[in-house]
Amino acid sequence: MGILSQPAIPPLPDSLSFAGKTAIVTGANIGLGLAAALHLAQRNISTLILAVRNPKSGQTTKDALLADPIVQKRATKPTILVFPLDLSLPSSVEAFASRVIAEVPKLHIVILNAGMGDLNWKVNPETQTEAHFQVNFLSNAVLTVRLLPLLKASAQNAGEASHLTIVGSRMIALSSFLKNPIPDAVPVFTFFNDRAQFRSMTRYGDSKVLVTMWIRQLGKHIDPSMVVVNNVCPGMVKTNLEAGQPWIIRAVMSVVKGIRGRTAEVGARTLINAAIAGPETHGEMLADYEIYPYNFLKTNEGKKMETKVWEESLAAFESSSPGSVQAAGLRD
Protein backbone atom coordinates (compact mmCIF):
# COMPACT_ATOMS: atom_id res chain seq x y z
CA MET A 1 0.00 0.00 0.00
CA GLY A 2 1.21 3.49 -0.78
CA ILE A 3 1.67 6.31 1.69
CA LEU A 4 -1.67 7.80 0.63
CA SER A 5 -3.71 4.66 1.24
CA GLN A 6 -4.36 1.90 3.76
CA PRO A 7 -5.28 -1.75 3.24
CA ALA A 8 -8.95 -2.41 2.56
CA ILE A 9 -10.87 -3.71 5.58
CA PRO A 10 -13.47 -6.32 4.60
CA PRO A 11 -17.00 -6.04 5.94
CA LEU A 12 -17.93 -8.04 8.99
CA PRO A 13 -19.56 -11.40 8.19
CA ASP A 14 -23.28 -11.22 7.52
CA SER A 15 -23.73 -14.21 9.80
CA LEU A 16 -22.08 -12.52 12.77
CA SER A 17 -24.40 -12.39 15.78
CA PHE A 18 -23.88 -11.51 19.43
CA ALA A 19 -27.21 -12.86 20.57
CA GLY A 20 -27.22 -13.71 24.27
CA LYS A 21 -24.00 -11.81 24.93
CA THR A 22 -23.14 -8.80 27.08
CA ALA A 23 -20.50 -6.30 25.96
CA ILE A 24 -18.80 -3.20 27.33
CA VAL A 25 -17.41 -0.48 25.06
CA THR A 26 -15.48 2.40 26.62
CA GLY A 27 -15.46 5.81 24.98
CA ALA A 28 -18.69 4.68 23.34
CA ASN A 29 -20.26 8.07 22.60
CA ILE A 30 -17.96 9.22 19.79
CA GLY A 31 -15.68 7.99 17.04
CA LEU A 32 -14.49 4.40 17.08
CA GLY A 33 -16.30 3.57 20.30
CA LEU A 34 -19.64 4.74 18.94
CA ALA A 35 -19.11 2.87 15.68
CA ALA A 36 -18.14 -0.32 17.53
CA ALA A 37 -21.21 0.01 19.75
CA LEU A 38 -23.40 0.36 16.65
CA HIS A 39 -21.86 -2.75 15.07
CA LEU A 40 -22.72 -4.69 18.22
CA ALA A 41 -26.24 -3.27 18.47
CA GLN A 42 -26.93 -4.12 14.83
CA ARG A 43 -25.71 -7.69 15.32
CA ASN A 44 -28.08 -8.82 18.05
CA ILE A 45 -26.08 -7.96 21.16
CA SER A 46 -28.35 -8.66 24.13
CA THR A 47 -26.89 -6.19 26.62
CA LEU A 48 -24.59 -3.30 25.70
CA ILE A 49 -22.90 -1.15 28.34
CA LEU A 50 -21.78 2.26 27.13
CA ALA A 51 -18.93 3.50 29.32
CA VAL A 52 -18.71 7.27 28.91
CA ARG A 53 -17.41 10.29 30.82
CA ASN A 54 -20.62 12.25 30.37
CA PRO A 55 -23.81 10.29 31.22
CA LYS A 56 -25.96 12.84 29.38
CA SER A 57 -23.95 12.27 26.21
CA GLY A 58 -24.21 8.55 26.84
CA GLN A 59 -28.00 8.77 27.01
CA THR A 60 -28.03 10.62 23.69
CA THR A 61 -25.87 7.85 22.23
CA LYS A 62 -28.20 5.20 23.62
CA ASP A 63 -31.21 6.89 22.01
CA ALA A 64 -29.38 7.13 18.68
CA LEU A 65 -28.39 3.45 18.75
CA LEU A 66 -31.94 2.35 19.50
CA ALA A 67 -33.23 4.58 16.69
CA ASP A 68 -30.86 3.07 14.11
CA PRO A 69 -32.93 1.54 11.27
CA ILE A 70 -31.17 -1.84 11.48
CA VAL A 71 -31.52 -1.98 15.26
CA GLN A 72 -35.18 -1.02 14.87
CA LYS A 73 -35.76 -4.10 12.72
CA ARG A 74 -34.48 -6.46 15.42
CA ALA A 75 -37.14 -8.74 16.82
CA THR A 76 -35.77 -8.13 20.31
CA LYS A 77 -34.22 -4.75 21.04
CA PRO A 78 -30.94 -4.66 22.96
CA THR A 79 -30.75 -3.58 26.56
CA ILE A 80 -28.43 -0.57 26.53
CA LEU A 81 -27.02 0.74 29.80
CA VAL A 82 -25.02 3.92 30.36
CA PHE A 83 -22.31 3.74 33.03
CA PRO A 84 -20.09 6.74 33.82
CA LEU A 85 -16.35 6.17 33.42
CA ASP A 86 -13.51 8.69 33.43
CA LEU A 87 -10.22 6.93 32.80
CA SER A 88 -8.27 9.92 34.09
CA LEU A 89 -9.66 9.38 37.60
CA PRO A 90 -8.76 6.16 39.48
CA SER A 91 -11.82 6.63 41.70
CA SER A 92 -14.07 6.59 38.62
CA VAL A 93 -12.37 3.48 37.29
CA GLU A 94 -12.87 1.67 40.59
CA ALA A 95 -16.50 2.80 40.85
CA PHE A 96 -17.18 1.60 37.30
CA ALA A 97 -15.58 -1.80 37.87
CA SER A 98 -17.40 -2.26 41.18
CA ARG A 99 -20.73 -1.38 39.56
CA VAL A 100 -20.20 -3.84 36.71
CA ILE A 101 -19.31 -6.60 39.15
CA ALA A 102 -22.34 -5.82 41.34
CA GLU A 103 -24.95 -5.25 38.63
CA VAL A 104 -23.91 -7.23 35.55
CA PRO A 105 -24.51 -10.99 35.88
CA LYS A 106 -22.50 -11.99 32.81
CA LEU A 107 -19.90 -10.37 30.58
CA HIS A 108 -18.56 -11.76 27.32
CA ILE A 109 -16.89 -8.89 25.46
CA VAL A 110 -14.89 -5.90 26.69
CA ILE A 111 -13.57 -3.36 24.18
CA LEU A 112 -11.36 -0.82 25.95
CA ASN A 113 -11.33 1.87 23.31
CA ALA A 114 -11.16 5.15 25.26
CA GLY A 115 -7.82 6.93 25.18
CA MET A 116 -6.11 10.26 24.63
CA GLY A 117 -3.48 11.88 22.46
CA ASP A 118 -2.01 15.19 23.62
CA LEU A 119 1.28 17.05 23.37
CA ASN A 120 1.20 18.69 26.78
CA TRP A 121 2.30 17.44 30.18
CA LYS A 122 -0.82 16.80 32.23
CA VAL A 123 -1.44 14.96 35.47
CA ASN A 124 -4.65 13.59 36.92
CA PRO A 125 -5.86 15.43 40.02
CA GLU A 126 -6.18 12.38 42.27
CA THR A 127 -2.78 10.71 42.05
CA GLN A 128 -0.66 13.18 40.04
CA THR A 129 0.21 10.46 37.53
CA GLU A 130 0.91 11.60 33.97
CA ALA A 131 -2.24 11.63 31.85
CA HIS A 132 -1.21 9.36 28.95
CA PHE A 133 0.18 6.83 31.39
CA GLN A 134 -3.02 6.92 33.44
CA VAL A 135 -5.59 7.01 30.63
CA ASN A 136 -4.03 4.91 27.87
CA PHE A 137 -2.41 2.29 30.07
CA LEU A 138 -2.95 2.18 33.81
CA SER A 139 -6.73 2.59 33.95
CA ASN A 140 -7.20 0.02 31.18
CA ALA A 141 -4.94 -2.40 33.00
CA VAL A 142 -6.93 -1.88 36.23
CA LEU A 143 -10.17 -2.61 34.38
CA THR A 144 -8.62 -5.77 32.97
CA VAL A 145 -7.74 -7.08 36.41
CA ARG A 146 -11.07 -6.15 37.98
CA LEU A 147 -13.22 -7.57 35.15
CA LEU A 148 -11.29 -10.79 34.49
CA PRO A 149 -13.12 -12.88 37.14
CA LEU A 150 -16.49 -11.99 35.57
CA LEU A 151 -15.21 -12.66 32.06
CA LYS A 152 -13.89 -16.06 33.14
CA ALA A 153 -17.09 -17.02 34.97
CA SER A 154 -19.15 -16.01 31.95
CA ALA A 155 -16.94 -18.09 29.65
CA GLN A 156 -17.36 -21.11 31.87
CA ASN A 157 -21.13 -20.72 31.88
CA ALA A 158 -21.32 -20.10 28.14
CA GLY A 159 -18.94 -22.88 27.19
CA GLU A 160 -16.88 -20.56 25.00
CA ALA A 161 -14.14 -17.99 25.52
CA SER A 162 -14.86 -14.40 26.47
CA HIS A 163 -12.86 -11.62 24.81
CA LEU A 164 -11.02 -8.54 26.04
CA THR A 165 -9.53 -6.11 23.53
CA ILE A 166 -7.61 -2.88 24.15
CA VAL A 167 -7.12 -0.39 21.34
CA GLY A 168 -3.43 -0.05 20.60
CA SER A 169 -1.43 1.72 17.92
CA ARG A 170 1.28 1.11 15.36
CA MET A 171 2.79 4.31 16.73
CA ILE A 172 4.71 1.95 18.99
CA ALA A 173 7.04 1.58 16.01
CA LEU A 174 8.16 5.18 16.68
CA SER A 175 8.58 4.71 20.42
CA SER A 176 11.40 6.56 22.15
CA PHE A 177 12.46 3.28 23.79
CA LEU A 178 13.94 2.02 20.53
CA LYS A 179 16.83 4.47 20.85
CA ASN A 180 16.64 5.27 24.56
CA PRO A 181 15.51 2.30 26.66
CA ILE A 182 14.56 2.94 30.26
CA PRO A 183 17.64 2.28 32.45
CA ASP A 184 17.50 -1.00 34.35
CA ALA A 185 17.58 0.74 37.72
CA VAL A 186 14.64 3.05 36.92
CA PRO A 187 11.10 1.73 37.52
CA VAL A 188 8.77 2.12 34.54
CA PHE A 189 6.18 3.87 36.70
CA THR A 190 8.79 6.35 37.90
CA PHE A 191 10.00 7.05 34.37
CA PHE A 192 6.52 7.80 32.98
CA ASN A 193 5.64 10.09 35.86
CA ASP A 194 8.87 12.10 35.74
CA ARG A 195 8.23 15.33 33.87
CA ALA A 196 11.89 15.47 32.85
CA GLN A 197 11.33 12.30 30.80
CA PHE A 198 8.24 13.59 28.98
CA ARG A 199 8.66 13.73 25.20
CA SER A 200 5.51 15.16 23.67
CA MET A 201 5.90 13.69 20.18
CA THR A 202 6.47 10.11 21.35
CA ARG A 203 4.46 9.92 24.57
CA TYR A 204 1.32 8.57 22.88
CA GLY A 205 3.26 5.74 21.22
CA ASP A 206 5.23 5.11 24.40
CA SER A 207 2.02 4.68 26.39
CA LYS A 208 0.77 2.20 23.79
CA VAL A 209 3.99 0.21 24.19
CA LEU A 210 2.89 -0.39 27.78
CA VAL A 211 -0.48 -1.63 26.50
CA THR A 212 1.24 -4.05 24.12
CA MET A 213 3.50 -5.36 26.89
CA TRP A 214 0.58 -5.73 29.29
CA ILE A 215 -1.41 -7.74 26.76
CA ARG A 216 1.59 -9.95 26.02
CA GLN A 217 2.00 -10.76 29.69
CA LEU A 218 -1.72 -11.36 30.14
CA GLY A 219 -1.46 -13.84 27.30
CA LYS A 220 1.09 -15.81 29.30
CA HIS A 221 -1.05 -15.92 32.44
CA ILE A 222 -4.59 -16.41 31.09
CA ASP A 223 -5.98 -19.55 29.47
CA PRO A 224 -7.25 -18.53 25.99
CA SER A 225 -10.01 -21.11 26.27
CA MET A 226 -11.41 -18.85 29.02
CA VAL A 227 -10.55 -15.32 27.86
CA VAL A 228 -8.84 -14.28 24.64
CA VAL A 229 -6.92 -11.04 25.24
CA ASN A 230 -5.42 -8.90 22.48
CA ASN A 231 -4.95 -5.33 21.37
CA VAL A 232 -5.57 -3.81 17.98
CA CYS A 233 -4.53 -0.83 15.91
CA PRO A 234 -7.47 0.34 13.77
CA GLY A 235 -5.20 2.32 11.46
CA MET A 236 -5.63 5.99 10.70
CA VAL A 237 -9.27 6.84 11.37
CA LYS A 238 -11.15 10.11 11.00
CA THR A 239 -11.70 10.76 14.70
CA ASN A 240 -10.92 13.66 17.03
CA LEU A 241 -7.91 12.05 18.73
CA GLU A 242 -5.87 15.21 18.06
CA ALA A 243 -8.48 17.52 19.60
CA GLY A 244 -6.12 18.59 22.39
CA GLN A 245 -3.18 19.33 20.11
CA PRO A 246 -2.07 22.71 18.63
CA TRP A 247 -4.13 24.02 15.71
CA ILE A 248 -1.34 23.55 13.18
CA ILE A 249 -1.11 19.83 13.96
CA ARG A 250 -4.88 19.51 13.87
CA ALA A 251 -4.92 21.23 10.49
CA VAL A 252 -2.22 18.99 9.02
CA MET A 253 -3.83 15.83 10.40
CA SER A 254 -7.20 16.92 9.04
CA VAL A 255 -5.73 17.05 5.54
CA VAL A 256 -3.87 13.75 5.93
CA LYS A 257 -6.91 11.98 7.36
CA GLY A 258 -9.05 13.43 4.61
CA ILE A 259 -6.79 11.72 2.09
CA ARG A 260 -6.06 8.36 3.71
CA GLY A 261 -8.14 8.14 6.88
CA ARG A 262 -10.78 5.46 7.36
CA THR A 263 -14.27 6.23 8.49
CA ALA A 264 -15.06 5.31 12.06
CA GLU A 265 -17.35 2.55 10.79
CA VAL A 266 -14.52 0.91 8.86
CA GLY A 267 -12.01 1.39 11.68
CA ALA A 268 -14.45 -0.12 14.15
CA ARG A 269 -14.58 -3.30 12.10
CA THR A 270 -11.04 -3.99 13.30
CA LEU A 271 -12.19 -3.65 16.92
CA ILE A 272 -15.06 -6.07 16.40
CA ASN A 273 -12.79 -8.47 14.53
CA ALA A 274 -10.36 -8.44 17.44
CA ALA A 275 -13.22 -9.06 19.86
CA ILE A 276 -14.22 -12.24 18.03
CA ALA A 277 -10.73 -13.40 17.04
CA GLY A 278 -9.45 -16.84 17.92
CA PRO A 279 -6.71 -18.00 20.31
CA GLU A 280 -4.04 -17.38 17.68
CA THR A 281 -4.37 -13.68 18.59
CA HIS A 282 -4.07 -14.30 22.34
CA GLY A 283 -1.48 -11.93 23.82
CA GLU A 284 -0.86 -10.36 20.44
CA MET A 285 -1.33 -7.00 18.80
CA LEU A 286 -3.36 -6.88 15.62
CA ALA A 287 -2.77 -4.32 12.88
CA ASP A 288 -6.10 -4.29 11.07
CA TYR A 289 -6.80 -8.04 10.85
CA GLU A 290 -3.20 -9.30 10.99
CA ILE A 291 -0.81 -10.00 13.88
CA TYR A 292 1.72 -7.17 14.12
CA PRO A 293 5.38 -8.05 14.74
CA TYR A 294 6.98 -5.54 17.13
CA ASN A 295 10.68 -6.32 17.20
CA PHE A 296 11.52 -4.22 20.27
CA LEU A 297 9.78 -6.85 22.38
CA LYS A 298 12.31 -9.41 21.21
CA THR A 299 15.31 -7.39 22.37
CA ASN A 300 16.90 -7.73 25.80
CA GLU A 301 15.82 -4.18 26.64
CA GLY A 302 12.26 -4.88 25.55
CA LYS A 303 12.04 -8.12 27.52
CA LYS A 304 13.36 -6.48 30.68
CA MET A 305 10.97 -3.55 30.33
CA GLU A 306 8.03 -5.90 29.77
CA THR A 307 8.85 -7.80 32.95
CA LYS A 308 9.06 -4.55 34.90
CA VAL A 309 5.73 -3.33 33.50
CA TRP A 310 4.09 -6.57 34.62
CA GLU A 311 5.59 -6.74 38.10
CA GLU A 312 5.15 -3.04 38.87
CA SER A 313 1.54 -3.11 37.66
CA LEU A 314 0.60 -6.15 39.77
CA ALA A 315 2.25 -4.60 42.83
CA ALA A 316 0.35 -1.34 42.30
CA PHE A 317 -2.98 -3.12 41.86
CA GLU A 318 -2.46 -5.33 44.90
CA SER A 319 -1.63 -2.25 46.95
CA SER A 320 -4.69 -0.27 45.82
CA SER A 321 -7.12 -3.22 45.71
CA PRO A 322 -5.88 -6.08 47.92
CA GLY A 323 -6.85 -9.48 46.60
CA SER A 324 -7.70 -8.27 43.08
CA VAL A 325 -4.63 -9.78 41.44
CA GLN A 326 -5.20 -13.19 42.98
CA ALA A 327 -8.94 -13.03 42.16
CA ALA A 328 -8.01 -12.41 38.53
CA GLY A 329 -5.77 -15.47 38.57
CA LEU A 330 -2.67 -13.47 37.74
CA ARG A 331 -0.65 -14.47 40.78
CA ASP A 332 -0.48 -17.74 42.70
Catalytic residues: 204, 208
Residue 136 gets the label, from left (phi > 0), alpha (psi -120 to 50) or beta, of alpha
Residues 6+ apart with CB under 8 A from 154: 22, 106, 107, 108, 162
Q: Are 176 and 207 in contact (CB under 8 A)?
A: no
One DSSP character per residue, 66-119 reads HHSHHHHT-SSPPEEEEEE--TT-HHHHHHHHHHHHHH-S---EEEE------S
State residue 221 phi and psi, 5-degree precision: -115, -5
How far, in Å, CA of 24 to CA of 13, rounded? 21
Return the closest-CA partner of residue 260 out of 252, 269, 249, 270: 252
How far, in Å, CA of 252 to CA of 176, rounded? 23
